[in-house]
Structure 1
């Protein structure tokens, strides 16, 4: 009996050792990639900062589709427009889920749309969101964008050194109106600051080595919090985040039900909750996800745009010549867009030159697949390497130069470009791919166009001077770290082009204030909005 037991134990040990010997190895039929070590694979090679540069280097070495073996997990990295089109777009039925991002989901309470796995809940939420962010709906939000843009211009005029704060208020207030029905009136609003701070910390947490280790070695999740302090911090972030998002939603829900709220996205969300019976926490995170998406990524792109204008004065000159020729002594409007091709190019170039989701948010394969003769296993993460595509010199010659003329013959909207069957005709990749394509891109594009055209029409951009009178040159490689990025704080000299333009900016903002009450909220909602009164939707 003892011999049989010994033999069994030996067999089990041999099987365990064999299984362990496979961990960290790259199977021969997987896409190529850097050499691996037993158990950890390529985990030791994962960069702690400036990861986009290392992922770009690997793409140059191993080709447009390569693999990283991360302990028990596999990450497939797509670094060409064609690979992204072929897999994430054409095979979206396979590649629309998300890998398990453990700490990210702790911060999110498992409820953030961005990280949600493909399934019934995600499809239900996406349907509600689509009704309010499609191209038809997007056209109705222009009055909001116009007003908030003019408020931002006045802020640039009065406090130019706080340009990043004015940009953030612009994008945040536009989004709070659409989602919750109220304006964010001050750059010092505590909830505005909480939103940007919280999202920054969420991005940092998800980009840490600790997060990666917990994803690839799930057994470590059983360790207590004192052994994983970052998890305790993630729980604290969730508490604050939930308080903000669910608090915003419950305020809107109560006001809608008692008839005191302005029309907003929450009308449809409350109605969907009535029908589907989902929790206030989920509703809060759906609306909060829209708030952070509409506020943070557009703001980050505009901060990058300001940096580009400081670094490339020739672009400012060319853009202003076009604006003066077309618009003269009036502010540009959305209707001017067809006649301002260089400005349209500047919008596209801003997203290409400073991509906020610099390595994308990974998709996940829901079953085994094959591409270019390589196996992509079920459960693999699939990363779309935005930086490598945007900085490919074959696609964009001299890629670190900000050059709107790259798009002089591109008349597509971002949505049209994303859906173009020819992958080489896509302008940029910051709005995602496949079924995960950003539904708010129509709104973001208009917000960027209004901001970029009017800022260039009204202001000159130059390098700030230090105390010794020397120019301060921003470093366009000095970016924040994490899932989403933007330039680290930098100084800029922003002054009105003429006294007449400054006066017109102030006059336009003063005119807008006639539409607002004493708390700077809309007296009446703009006409043409898609939303109805909550009671009328339930009575119908």
Structure 2
């Protein structure tokens, strides 16, 4: 094995040398240019500043540099130019007002053809496939939200509460499966795929992250010949398996639709009904169109897992670490809901719950680096040229810690959305705070690349979070030997582009014997609707 790795490194040397020569020439050219108006940390030949960036928590270094160099600065990594933004107004100017320039996506080396192919709408460049998929997904999400996702979220939450009560130690994996079940049910009417969906989402996210395969940062390694390239072999197998799963789910759903067995509240039903409205009564399509549709539905399904399960786990953490806010939210729920589980219909009456949820995403950013944009052509900002291909990062971790907008930013303060003395407060409280609109909504991206799933995040986070508070008291786990609380690192994460916390210890206890009985009876009422 050691000999193979040495051979791999030798094969990579020509690519590394070619890259190094190019970067030295680029560095010399930039060093001779006039003084820059956009500041940044000192750059070194070839490497730029990649050598002192921890790829498992890069956002923290970016925040440190923002504190030194200001709300917009330049840096580079192995020749790739970056603009890092830590100010909402600057991000609005570049990524929204100039969205026609800054809406490209950078190449993620460990993925095949994600900029041009049909598999990853959120990671594509802007072209016809992107336009078709985004338009369809937007319409499907909007209609589902008008119907509040057909009660599917509430049904699955009843199962989730029972799982938490019966097997609380596995809450981390079960939260991911819960999110996977909701999306699989909406996409294919097959919630039994929830665990596989969650695992697939996590693996895909790992491949697209700087903390994932080393080729995402040491890009010349990707050029190693196929026979000796473990990264290409792994990704080929992973993507082939994922595409086969999506296509199989698509074809099973098509057969069920033609037999009249597919529920009308699924996205696949909507797609097939649309084909028939166009005159394609038998749903006959060539392989390319089936691939297009199965990837569109499959990726819509996958993204809804990774954007929700991490924030939900951070919310459970926040309630454990801040019992005073857990109690305030429970008192509000008891006053409004009494003995019944909360539903989306209670949204307007539970502002404290919503404030706790929103503050969770500010306190522990789900996308701390932001999803990167890329300049699609040359531009100028602050009197300085930004060249085509430059990657723009609106660093969420930094933006959420601007003290003028979020005082005492390192600490958890849901009251910043509930009390008029805080800069982030908005009225009316029957509407704000939420995840769809208003102040602090940059978590879901900017401009033409804004996430299309804000509505399902809003509904699913609210119903799940409120229901867990209704059902359980959440506390730190006790050491069985000393009886003391078991502490943990609240910033320990999987370091993906969209974060999940690493598994941490906590306990769930039904709030009363009566509540425990209600959890079980609530599950029994929906048991026949579920695929377990």
> Which of the five TM-score ranges fits, normalised by the shorter chain?
0.7 to 0.9
Counterpart position of 2:183? 175
Question: Is this contact kept in 1: 2:333–2:466, CA < 8 A?
Answer: yes
Larger deviation: 248-257 or 75-84? 248-257
1:396-435 aligned within 5 A: 396-408=406-418, 409-410=425-426, 411=432, 413-417=434-438, 426-435=439-448
Tell whether 2:515 aligns with 1:501.
yes
CA deviations 1:164-187 (Å, max 9, x no partner) are: 2332232111111211122238xx
Question: Is this contact kept in 1: 2:56–2:211, CA < 8 A?
Answer: no
**How does the TM-score come out when normalised to structure 1?**
0.83
Larger deviation: 66-75 or 305-314? 66-75
Counterpart position of 1:130? 138
1:105-254 aligned within 5 A: 105=112, 110=117, 111-134=119-142, 137-184=145-192, 191-192=196-197, 194-204=199-209, 207-214=212-219, 221-225=222-226, 228-254=229-255
- What is the deviation of 1:20? 4.7
Question: Is this contact kept in 1: 2:445–2:451, CA < 8 A?
Answer: yes
1:266 to 253, 265, 268: 268
Provide the rounded CA distance (Å) in 2 between the counterparts of 1:432 and 1:415: 12
Counterpart position of 2:478? 465
Provide the rounded CA distance (Å) in 2 between the counterparts of 1:236 and 1:296: 21
Counterpart position of 1:535? none
Counterpart position of 1:54? 61
Residues 393, 33 of structure 1: alpha-carbon distance in 2 compared, 3 angstrom cutoff: same
Provide the rounded CA distance (Å) in 1 between the counterparts of 2:141 and 2:505: 35
Residue 126 of structure 1 aligns to a residue whose secondary structure is helix
1:72 to 65, 75, 79: 79
Provide the rounded CA distance (Å) in 2 between the counterparts of 1:243 and 1:108: 20
1:21 to 14, 22, 25: 25
CA deviations 1:59-83 (Å, max 9, x no partner) are: 1111111112223321111111111
Question: Is this contact kept in 1: 2:355–2:433, CA < 8 A?
Answer: no
2:493 to 479, 502, 520: 479
Where do 5+ consecutive residues of structure 2 fail to align? 1-19, 419-424, 427-431
Provide the rounded CA distance (Å) in 2 between the counterparts of 1:113 and 1:369: 25
Tell whether 2:312 aligns with 1:302.
yes
Residues 76, 275 of structure 1: alpha-carbon distance in 2 compared, 3 angstrom cutoff: farther
- What is the deviation of 1:203? 4.2
Question: Is this contact kept in 1: 2:145–2:455, CA < 8 A?
Answer: no
Residue 184 of structure 1 aligns to a residue whose secondary structure is helix
Question: Is this contact kept in 2: 1:347–1:448, CA < 8 A?
Answer: yes
Larger deviation: 235-244 or 311-320? 235-244
Residues 30, 72 of structure 1: alpha-carbon distance in 2 compared, 3 angstrom cutoff: farther
Question: Is this contact kept in 2: 1:323–1:453, CA < 8 A?
Answer: yes
Residue 134 of structure 1 aligns to a residue whose secondary structure is helix
**How does the TM-score come out when normalised to structure 2?**
0.84
Counterpart position of 1:526? none
CA deviations 1:399-440 (Å, max 9, x no partner) are: 2322221111432543322xxxxxxxx224221111111112
Counterpart position of 1:316? 326
Residue 399 of structure 1 aligns to a residue whose secondary structure is coil
- What is the deviation of 1:97? 1.4
Tell whether 2:355 aligns with 1:338.
no
1:390 to 400, 412, 416: 400
Residues 256, 172 of structure 1: alpha-carbon distance in 2 compared, 3 angstrom cutoff: same
Provide the rounded CA distance (Å) in 1 between the counterparts of 2:211 and 2:23: 29
Residue 451 of structure 2 aligns to a residue whose secondary structure is coil
Residue 110 of structure 2 aligns to a residue whose secondary structure is helix
Where do 5+ consecutive residues of structure 1 fail to align? 1-15, 418-425, 523-540
Question: Is this contact kept in 2: 1:78–1:84, CA < 8 A?
Answer: yes
Provide the rounded CA distance (Å) in 2 between the counterparts of 1:350 and 1:238: 33
Question: Is this contact kept in 1: 2:212–2:496, CA < 8 A?
Answer: yes
CA deviations 1:312-366 (Å, max 9, x no partner) are: 1111111112222222222222222212111111121122222222212111111
Residues 498, 227 of structure 1: alpha-carbon distance in 2 compared, 3 angstrom cutoff: same
Tell whether 2:92 aligns with 1:90.
no
Residues 253, 46 of structure 1: alpha-carbon distance in 2 compared, 3 angstrom cutoff: farther
Counterpart position of 2:12? none
Provide the rounded CA distance (Å) in 2 between the counterparts of 1:63 and 1:227: 44
Question: Is this contact kept in 1: 2:354–2:433, CA < 8 A?
Answer: no
Tell whether 2:41 aligns with 1:41.
no
Counterpart position of 1:372? 382
- What is the deviation of 1:29? 4.0
Residues 150, 95 of structure 1: alpha-carbon distance in 2 compared, 3 angstrom cutoff: same
